[in-house]
């Protein structure tokens, strides 16, 4: 059976991660992997997480299964974090289940969509997180792209977005990023979110929100404003969320899927189908990450500490954006990179060609994804000059 198999190409980002680890250059710079890094280049465990883990270690009473929906406290806390004091919560129209990471929630969503409508097409932004396409294809769903990011202006192609979405039929799915668009860093404003809501109501397609970076853009509530606006106006919606970034729980794989129905009864039916999907994929989610998040969000002291740490991460990222732009100007890097300071989250495109990206890796041990997407959080005081000097030399050739 195995003799007929052909090797699967390594994921480009994971491949760069392996190359970076094997690189002996003391000046090497990793701008490829999408994890938050502090000034020392580390991805630390948050103090709020440490305190919650200590509490868990001393108070855990059982290792029994959680059940298919996972930790009830976590699900309630994530529902409140995403939707706040929203009518969909008060009316019982939203149901949430714990999943193994944001990727796990997207895979559950994909299989759920396939059960609802196996011929549905999933429309994603061009570009989008590369794994989106693989996840939905794995569930047997066809993926289409709609215009979103403009590499010429380093802004949005919103007129073309509207033109394409206005032709998406009922029964299809449109995937949008709640905030901190990965990989472009370009987000919709509230007026544009309203336009999308109007089109969704007119066309009858279903919106799927990927909320992986809540709190990394402008703030916890500000970053949820678009999905909350949509939730107030559409009858059905799916939200996939992750705690990897805002809680720093990358390796603990904790996320959630939230389903909004037209009324509580229909939401309950849809949720039962989602639980059937979960049962068939992994049966029960792991407990650790969910308990940590639930413990933090149920404690005023730990919530306050977490807010402080999240604010520090967001402030660092936003400050780095302006810092990078100024450093590029100082070192004479050709081109206008002002757009970087106007974007949100960890990612931006530099807009440089693949040959330059290859030269940066070969000659300077600077690792950048082939699309020119960079993780801004990978920049710090100790490598900024080296990065800018290298870019100036390579791009001025």
- This prediction has a pTM of 0.96
How much of the chain exceeds pLDDT 70, in percent? 100
Is-catalytic flag, 252? no
Q: Which domains are seen in the chain, by residue range?
A: 10-44+307-395 (3.90.1150.10), 65-298 (3.40.640.10)
The yes-or-no verdict on residue 254 having pLDDT over 90 is yes
Whole-number CA gyration radius for the chain: 21
Helix count and strand count (H, E) for the chain: 14, 13
- pLDDT at 16 (0 to 100): 87
User: Which H helix or E strand runs over 192?
Assistant: helix 190-203
pLDDT digits (tens, 9 = 90+) for 303-317: 999 999 999 999 999
Residues 222, 110: Cα–Cα separation, whole Å: 27
The yes-or-no verdict on residue 335 having pLDDT over 90 is yes
The yes-or-no verdict on residue 366 having pLDDT over 90 is yes
- pLDDT at 8 (0 to 100): 84
Q: What is the dihedral of CA 272, 282, 44, 38, to 10 degrees?
A: -70
The candidate with the shortest Cα–Cα distance to 352, out of 19, 129, 26, 31, is: 31
**Among 123, 129, 193, 306, the one annotated catalytic:** 129
- pLDDT at 10 (0 to 100): 78
Residues 95, 8: Cα–Cα separation, whole Å: 37
**Among 37, 51, 95, 245, the one annotated catalytic:** 245
The candidate with the shortest Cα–Cα distance to 289, out of 258, 251, 245, is: 251
Is-catalytic flag, 193? no
**Among 187, 210, 223, 252, the one annotated catalytic:** 210
Query: Which of the four pLDDT bands, split at 50, 70 and 90, describes residue 109?
Result: very high
The yes-or-no verdict on residue 397 having pLDDT over 90 is no
State the DSSP code for 183.
T
For residues 179 and 213, is the Cβ–Cβ distance under 8 A?
yes
- The DSSP bridge pattern shows strands 237-242 and 255-260 to be antiparallel
Is-catalytic flag, 129? yes
Annotate 248-306 with DSSP letters as a single string. Answer: --GGG--EEEEEE-SSHHHHHHHHHHHHHHHHHHTSS--SHHHHHHHHHHT-HHHHHHH
- pLDDT at 94 (0 to 100): 97
The whole-number average pLDDT for the span 260-284 is 97
The candidate with the shortest Cα–Cα distance to 52, out of 295, 251, 289, 305, is: 295
């Amino acid at each position: 059976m195995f003799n007929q198999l052909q090797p699967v190409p390594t994921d480009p980002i994971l491949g760069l991660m392996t190359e970076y680890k094997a690189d002996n250059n003391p000046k090497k710079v990793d701008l490829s992997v999408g994890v938050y890094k502090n000034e020392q280049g580390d991805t630390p465990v948050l103090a709020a997480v440490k305190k919650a883990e200590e509490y868990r270690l001393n108070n855990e009473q059982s290792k029994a299964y959680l059940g298919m929906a996972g930790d009830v406290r976590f699900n309630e806390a994530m529902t409140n974090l995403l939707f706040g004091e929203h009518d969909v919560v008060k009316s019982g129209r939203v149901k949430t289940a714990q999943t193994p990471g944001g990727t796990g929630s997207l895979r559950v969503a994909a299989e759920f969509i396939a059960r609802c409508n196996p011929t549905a097409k999933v429309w994603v932004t061009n570009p989008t997180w590369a794994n989106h396409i693989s996840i939905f294809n794995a569930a047997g769903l066809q993926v289409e792209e709609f215009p979103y990011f403009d590499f010429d202006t380093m802004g949005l192609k919103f007129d073309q977005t509207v033109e394409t979405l206005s032709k998406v039929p009922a029964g299809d799915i449109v995937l949008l990023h709640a905030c901190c668009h990965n990989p472009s860093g370009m987000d919709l404003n509230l007026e544009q979110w309203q336009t999308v809501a109007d089109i969704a109501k007119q066309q009858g397609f279903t919106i799927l929100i990927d909320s992986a970076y809540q709190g990394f853009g402008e703030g916890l509530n500000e970053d949820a404003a678009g999905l909350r606006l949509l939730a107030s106006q559409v009858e059905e919606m799916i939200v996939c969320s992750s705690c990897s970034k805002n809680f720093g729980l990358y390796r603990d794989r904790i996320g959630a899927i939230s389903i909004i129905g037209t009324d509580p009864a229909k939401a309950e039916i849809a949720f039962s189908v989602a639980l059937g999907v979960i049962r068939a994929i992994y049966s029960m989610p792991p407990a650790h990450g969910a308990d940590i998040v639930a413990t933090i969000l149920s404690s005023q002291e730990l919530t306050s500490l977490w807010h402080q740490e999240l604010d520090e991460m967001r402030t660092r990222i936003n400050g780095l954006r302006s810092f990078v732009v100024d450093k590029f100007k100082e070192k004479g890097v050709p081109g206008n990179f002002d757009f970087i300071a106007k974007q949100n989250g960890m990612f931006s495109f530099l807009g440089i060609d693949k040959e330059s990206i290859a030269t940066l890796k070969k000659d300077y041990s600077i690792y950048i994804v082939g699309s020119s997407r960079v993780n801004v959080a990978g920049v710090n005081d100790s490598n900024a000059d080296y990065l800018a000097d290298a870019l100036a030399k390579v791009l001025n050739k």
